[in-house]
């Protein structure tokens, strides 16, 4: 199976400048994903953004102040190919692995077998690992009965929430392919009956409206959508509910939290240039 055609915009720069450039591409809003690839023993980095349609290189250059290169990606299942040979991930209490790691699961962990397929999210990106660590922390403090994973991707965080609290979790994504991948991964982890995956744009779906209010809402998406969805997200939270936000860079924390002023700041986790924020709605 092959992916729909994808386009990659990229620019090489210093590690210091990479975060600002990535933030500009995220805030522009049309990228499917933005990532920073750093050279481990040098001061170089490459910022890459993926698009379903060919982006305007000149426009991206104007908003970033950089010379952006745009090129098509090969018409193949490049996401699955990119996962081959990746090591398992330890994040909080979780051990995330692919089919090729099936014999390496250690004792004393919560195992999750995740295949990316045509969706994003295997635990290897910092924001996903951050969210898994936060969920592990939250499980030490309280139980949650009504959880929404908004923008679920492969369903990794929804499956993690089910394994921690053994309660049904609602998972949504704008991409129907991601919803199918989530269902497959949930079944592969023995929790297909507890993960309800639906296609939805934001929180406008009647399924998401009927499921509210949520006592835990997870949104590991980009900074732009996090700001745009802020009113709907806060409305969907029950009194005392916890909100986990990620997919944002550390220098975007202030911007994002400014849209959630009705919530109490609980804490943050950081990994490299990425952040995960924990907020809470005041009780009645």
pLDDT tens string 189-200: 999 999 999 999
Contacts of range 204-211, beta carbons closer than 8 Å, 24 or more positions apart: 204/232, 205/172, 207/170, 207/172, 208/148, 208/170, 208/172, 208/236, 209/236, 211/146, 211/148, 211/170
- When mean pLDDT is compared over 5-9, 88-92, 185-189, the highest value belongs to 185-189
The CB density around residue 42, as the number of other CB atoms within 10 Å, is 9
* Distance of alpha carbon 113 from alpha carbon 164, whole angstroms: 15
Q: What is the pLDDT of residues 207-234, one digit of tens each?
A: 999 999 999 999 998 888 999 999 999 9
Residue 283 clears pLDDT 50, i.e. is over it: yes
Q: What is the pLDDT, as a whole number, of residue 82?
A: 45
Among residues 276, 9, 237, the alpha carbon closest in space to that of 131 is found at 276
Q: What does the pLDDT look like over 21-60, one tens digit per residue?
A: 988 898 887 887 787 877 766 788 899 888 888 999 999 9
Residue 146 in contact with residue 215, Cβ under 8 Å? yes
- The region that residue 188 occupies, defined by phi over 0 for left and psi between -120 and 50 for alpha, beta otherwise, is alpha
Strand order in the sheet with 33-38: 33-38, 44-51, 7-14, 69-72
Distance CA 117, CA 156 (A): 13
Residues 6+ apart with CB under 8 A from 130: 91, 246, 269, 270, 271, 274, 275, 276
Q: What confidence category does residue 74 fall into, taking pLDDT thresholds of 50, 70 and 90?
A: low
Q: What tokens were used for 262?
A: 């009705």
Query: Model confidence at 140, in pLDDT bands (50, 70, 90)?
Result: very high
Distance CA 268, CA 247 (A): 13
Q: Which two tokens stand for residue 92?
A: 């909080």
pLDDT tens per residue, range 242-252: 999 998 888 89
Q: Read off φ and ψ for residue 146, nearest 5 degrees.
A: -140, 100
Token duo for residue 233: 């997200």
What percent of the chain has pLDDT above 90?
54
**Tens of pLDDT, residues 99-137:** 655 557 777 888 888 765 544 554 456 788 899 999 999
Q: For residue 219, what pLDDT is reported?
A: 96
Give percent of the chain with pLDDT exceeding 70: 87
Query: Is the predicted pLDDT of residue 69 greater than 80, yes or no?
Result: yes
Give the Cα separation of 35 and 23 in Å (integer).
10
């Amino acid at each position: 199976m092959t992916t729909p055609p994808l386009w990659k915009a990229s620019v090489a720069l210093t590690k210091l400048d990479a975060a600002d450039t990535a933030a500009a591409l995220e805030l522009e809003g049309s990228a499917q994903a933005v990532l920073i690839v750093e050279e481990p023993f040098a001061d170089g980095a490459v910022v890459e953004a993926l698009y379903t349609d060919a982006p305007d290189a000149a426009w991206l250059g104007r908003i970033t102040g950089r010379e952006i290169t745009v090129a098509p990606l090969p018409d193949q299942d490049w996401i699955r190919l990119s996962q081959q040979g990746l090591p398992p991930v330890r994040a909080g209490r979780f051990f995330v692995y692919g089919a090729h790691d099936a014999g390496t699961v250690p004792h004393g962990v919560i195992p999750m077998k995740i295949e990316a397929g045509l969706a994003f999210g295997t635990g290897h990106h910092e924001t996903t690992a951050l969210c898994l660590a936060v969920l592990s922390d939250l499980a030490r403090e309280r139980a949650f009965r009504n959880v929404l994973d908004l923008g679920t991707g492969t369903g990794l965080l929804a499956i993690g929430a089910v394994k921690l609290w053994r309660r049904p979790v609602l998972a949504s994504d704008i991409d129907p392919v991601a919803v199918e991948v989530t269902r497959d991964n949930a079944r592969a982890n023995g929790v297909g009956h507890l993960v309800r995956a639906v296609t939805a744009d934001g929180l406008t779906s009647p399924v998401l409206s009927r499921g509210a209010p949520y006592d835990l809402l997870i949104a590991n998406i980009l900074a732009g959508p996090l700001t745009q969805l802020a009113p709907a997200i806060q409305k969907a939270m029950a009194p005392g509910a916890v909100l986990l936000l990620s997919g944002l860079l550390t220098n975007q924390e202030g911007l994002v939290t400014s849209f959630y002023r009705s919530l109490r700041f609980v804490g943050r986790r950081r990994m490299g240039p990425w952040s995960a924020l924990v907020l809470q709605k005041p009780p009645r």
